[in-house]
Amino acid sequence: MGRKYFGTDGVRGRVGETPITPDFVMRLGHAAGRVLLGEYCLPAGERPQVLIGKDTRLSGYMLESALEAGFSAAGVDVCLVGPLPTPAVAYLTRALRLQAGIVISASHNPYYDNGIKFFSGEGSKLPDVVEQAIEAGIDQPLVCVPAAELGRVRRIEDARGRYIEFCKSAFPNALDLRGLKIVVDCAHGAAYHTAPSVFHELGAEVITIGVQPNGLNINDGVGATAPKALAAAVVAHQADLGVALDGDADRLQMIDAAGNLYDGDQLLYAIVKSRLRSGPVKGVAGTLMSNLALEHALGKLGIPFGRAAVGDRYVVEMLGDKGWLYGGENSGHILTLDRHTTGDGTIAALQVLAALREEGGDLQSLLGDLTLYPQKLINVPISKDFAWKTDAQISAGLSAVEQRMNGRGRVLLRASGTEPLLRVMVEGEDAEEVTASAEQLAGVVRAAVGGSGQPRPAGQ
């Protein structure tokens, strides 16, 4: 069964356009509340409870109120925590024994986008079947429960402190960060008042950027999707390291003292390689976008590697199916299930820092012989209903590029789960060939969609 509203990371879109409108989000909250009422058989007089957090977008206030109204109308109690990282909501939902957690965020997107994503009571993304059940109720009439059964709303005042202590608990008790100067870039997002405190309380000298959110500047030239600002700050302050988070703080990129960038594949490898000091690693899960060099390097360590569909929810599903603990995406979602149930940029950074403390050296020495293959990613705008998989022109272009690569790399086409884009990715050992092949295929896709992001008329 296909999903009408949910993408790979919840419901997302431009604010003011369906589905990110107050009326739709209220119906979404009501539908989710009705599903929760059916899922949980609570003692008489008790109602399901959900926790709602958000990032720093101005539209979060509007959507928070709409969600709150929808859940209350369904007879579900609501706990509000205000701006907090996505993984903080996952943690608090589990720690407080609530039935679900909801995050209002569009992650790495600009401020004019927003979204709604759900966590189960166990702190993991909702299974597809539950999201489908919620979707089925969105278009049904909104029927309010009797006045005496309406959900109540309360605010959790110590949520920030609880999450900071949880993050610190993920760092070995025998270690600290004294003597390290770290620049922390919070992307003017949800971690602006949590991540700096975590590193500071563990002993580091912390310099911050991206910690002055105004509702409109989230991810704007800072954060994990714009790491040049962090690299410049690390070099300017002569810092040891830089930590870059995205708007909802579930992604991580890091910078070394020389200003070099390390992505999710490299950081995941550093963590996994360090974990071998305490015992065998059963396997690692990546995605279709994970660099081929990561797979090869893990193979040399005798560690199996699996590729899930793009999206951290699918990495988590593969880890669960195989009984593995570590996985991630090159974009910076890193899963360490021995520390948290979901991707957490702050906790992932702490795992890298722990490895540095235990093994000495710098980030480059942690990676050993891992050298990523050149990879070129080009995003081509398309309309949501463009049938690119069956387009003859695109199929022919894909075959031509695969023949050109002749087994010396990988070629991948995939639609974004959060934006109307077709992602064209080529990787291989030769950088010039990779770039030329990616541009060739992207040109074919642009021609197929008419050069303007719109599908060609049928039959043309």
In the predicted model, what is the mean pLDDT of residues 29-54? 87
Q: Tens digit of pLDDT for each residue in 339-351?
A: 999 999 999 999 9
- Contacts of 400 by beta carbon, 8 Å cutoff, 6+ apart: 440
For residues 358 and 349, is the Cβ–Cβ distance under 8 A?
no
For residues 279 and 250, is the Cβ–Cβ distance under 8 A?
no
Render 381-418 in DSSP notation, one character per residue. E--TT--GGG-HHHHHHHHHHHHHHTTSEEEEEEE-SS
Q: Tens digit of pLDDT for each residue in 17-37?
A: 999 999 999 999 999 999 988
Edge-first strand listing for the sheet containing 334-336: 305-308, 284-287, 326-328, 334-336
Q: Tens digit of pLDDT for each residue in 59-68?
A: 999 999 999 9
Cα dihedral value 410, 416, 421, 423, nearest 10: -10
Q: What is the DSSP pairing of strand 49-54 with strand 305-308?
A: unpaired
In the predicted model, what is the mean pLDDT of residues 419-426? 91
Residues of CATH 3.30.310.50 domain(s) within the chain?
Answer: 375-448
CATH of domain 168-367: 3.40.120.10
Q: Is 422 helix (H, G, I), strand (E, B) or coil?
A: strand
Helices (H), 50-105: 59-74, 86-95
CATH superfamily of 11-158: Alpha-D-Glucose-1,6-Bisphosphate, subunit A, domain 3 (3.40.120.10)
pTM greater than 0.85 (yes/no):
yes
Residues of CATH 3.40.120.10 domain(s) within the chain?
Answer: 11-158, 168-367
Query: What is the C-alpha separation between 171 and 319, in angstroms, rounded?
Result: 22
Reply yes or no on whether 107 is catalytic: yes
Query: 153-157, 291-295, 401-405 — which is least confidently predicted?
Result: 401-405
- Check whether 139 has a pLDDT greater than 70: yes
Catalytic-labelled residue, pool 72, 107, 290, 331: 107
In the predicted model, what is the mean pLDDT of residues 274-282? 95
Query: What is the C-alpha separation between 399 and 412, in angstroms, rounded?
Result: 11
Q: Tens digit of pLDDT for each residue in 199-256?
A: 999 999 999 999 999 999 999 999 999 999 999 999 999 999 999 999 999 999 999 9
Within 195-259, strands assigned E span 205-209, 241-245, 252-256
Q: Which two tokens stand for residue 199?
A: 């590193």
CATH of domain 375-448: 3.30.310.50
- Check whether 455 has a pLDDT greater than 80: no
- Check whether 459 has a pLDDT greater than 80: no
Q: What is the tally of helices (H) and strands (E) in the chain?
A: 14, 18
